[in-house]
């Protein structure tokens, strides 16, 4: 087993100040402070966030496709929009959602999505994204023991998972050594045909779930037991193929599978560290970060991931090149709106 800690590198603040998706680009990000989607310009180590993309409305929440080709965006008035990005701009379509979603979860390649509504304890499934969008009927999930902490959906939308904390009082997580034997949570398979959810795995607390692309296999992060587990055929046998645990990854609370399915990435906001391992849960590497990684979100360049939101003028990305993995910060200047393709003066 080869463990390593990559030296934290600073991303050079380049002169990129464009609101364009042309030229070198890592994709787009959502900036909650600006209530806008913005281009991430440049290359790892020399990148900056460009001007707000002009959609004509403020965006209060967004889910950006792993392929970086579209976003589901909640407008300030509560309506849901589909933004499809292209070289000349972004097309905007209305999404016929039952209400304003409290949560939006995308499948590994972004072709399917879950819209979750907390007040009605229900969800809708969207398929055919982005070009042949179809919004499904409302699915009642009120028979889940509690509000799900985590949701996940497979690319074919056939398998929906919901992780629930069953404890009457949420456990004090991120102190795994003293709580490693507890099972206060459960992962459920959510039926879309009206049947009751089926419990498939007891956990201490499922902090994140990610599917493999075009597969029903998934990985589950548990921030209480400080572990990551692969489940084969989560919609069927739900067999645990392996469990990874290492003191260098305390309390993992984000997880992602690489687009080729060969690597698993997990982050610990408590430990300020990211881990990379192969699909068998072996050969891990660890990358230290002067940030608290809360997500591992694919960007437009292979093996590059957004690991924090854009806060306090910075966001952080992981360059997962196995020969030289590094965590880089990207400056986030205040955004003034510009249409895609226009140049900021």
pLDDT tens, residue by residue, 120-155 = 999 999 999 999 999 999 999 999 999 999 999 999
Q: Which of 20-24, 167-171, 223-227 has the highest mean pLDDT?
A: 223-227
> For residue 22, what pLDDT is reported?
56
pLDDT reading at 64 higher than 80: yes
pLDDT reading at 116 higher than 70: yes
**Strand order, beta sheet including 70-75:** 59-64, 70-75, 80-86, 89-95
- Which of the residue ranges 166-175, 182-191, 199-208 would you say has the lowest mean pLDDT? 166-175
pLDDT tens, residue by residue, 262-314 = 999 999 999 999 999 999 999 999 999 999 999 999 999 999 999 999 988 99
Band (343; pLDDT cuts 50, 70, 90): very low
Burial class (CB in 10 A: 0-12, 13-18, 19+), 78: exposed
> For residue 293, what pLDDT is reported?
98
> For residue 8, what pLDDT is reported?
29
> For residue 193, what pLDDT is reported?
94
List domains and CATH numbers for the chain. Answer: 5-338 (2.130.10.10)
> For residue 86, what pLDDT is reported?
84
Distance CA 60, CA 297 (A): 19
> For residue 178, what pLDDT is reported?
40
Q: What phi and psi, each to the nearest 5 degrees, are found at residue 177? A: -60, -35
pLDDT reading at 4 higher than 70: no
pLDDT reading at 344 higher than 60: no
Residues in the chain: 345
State the chain's mean pLDDT as an integer: 88
Range 317-329 burial, b when 16+ CB lie within 10 A, else e? bbbbeeeebbbbb
- Which of the residue ranges 47-61, 77-91, 316-330 would you say has the lowest mean pLDDT? 77-91
> For residue 173, what pLDDT is reported?
43
């Amino acid at each position: 087993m080869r463990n390593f800690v990559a030296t934290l590198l600073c991303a050079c603040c380049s002169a990129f100040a464009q609101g364009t998706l042309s030229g070198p680009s890592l994709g787009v990000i959502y900036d909650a402070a600006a209530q806008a989607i913005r281009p991430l310009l440049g290359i790892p180590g020399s990148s900056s966030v460009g001007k707000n993309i002009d959609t004509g409305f403020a965006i209060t929440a967004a889910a950006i496709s792993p392929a970086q080709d579209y976003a589901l965006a909640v407008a300030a008035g509560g309506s849901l929009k589909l933004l499809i990005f292209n070289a000349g701009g972004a097309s905007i379509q209305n999404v016929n959602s039952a209400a304003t979603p409290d949560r939006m979860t995308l499948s590994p390649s972004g072709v399917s999505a879950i819209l979750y509504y907390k007040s009605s304890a229900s969800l809708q499934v969207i398929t055919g994204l982005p070009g042949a969008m179809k919004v499904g009927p409302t699915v009642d999930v009120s028979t889940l023991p509690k509000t799900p902490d985590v949701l996940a959906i497979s690319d074919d939308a056939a398998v929906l998972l919901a992780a629930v904390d069953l404890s009457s009082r949420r456990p004090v997580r991120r102190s795994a050594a003293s709580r490693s034997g507890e099972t206060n949570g459960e992962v459920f398979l959510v039926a879309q045909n009206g049947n009751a959810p089926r419990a498939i795995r007891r956990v201490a607390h499922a902090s994140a779930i990610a599917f493999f692309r075009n597969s029903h296999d998934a990985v589950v992060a548990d921030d209480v037991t400080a572990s990551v587990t692969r489940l084969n055929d989560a919609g069927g046998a739900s067999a645990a193929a392996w469990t990874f645990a290492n003191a260098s990854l305390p309390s993992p609370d984000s997880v992602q599978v690489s687009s080729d399915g060969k690597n698993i990435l997990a982050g610990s906001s408590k430990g300020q560290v990211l881990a990379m391992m192969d699909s068998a849960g072996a050969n891990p590497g660890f990358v230290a970060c002067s940030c608290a990684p809360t997500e591992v979100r694919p960007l437009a360049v292979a093996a590059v991931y957004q690991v924090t939101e854009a806060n306090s003028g910075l966001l952080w990305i992981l360059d997962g090149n196995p020969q030289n993995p590094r965590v880089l910060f990207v400056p986030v200047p205040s955004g003034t709106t510009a249409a895609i393709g226009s140049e900021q003066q």
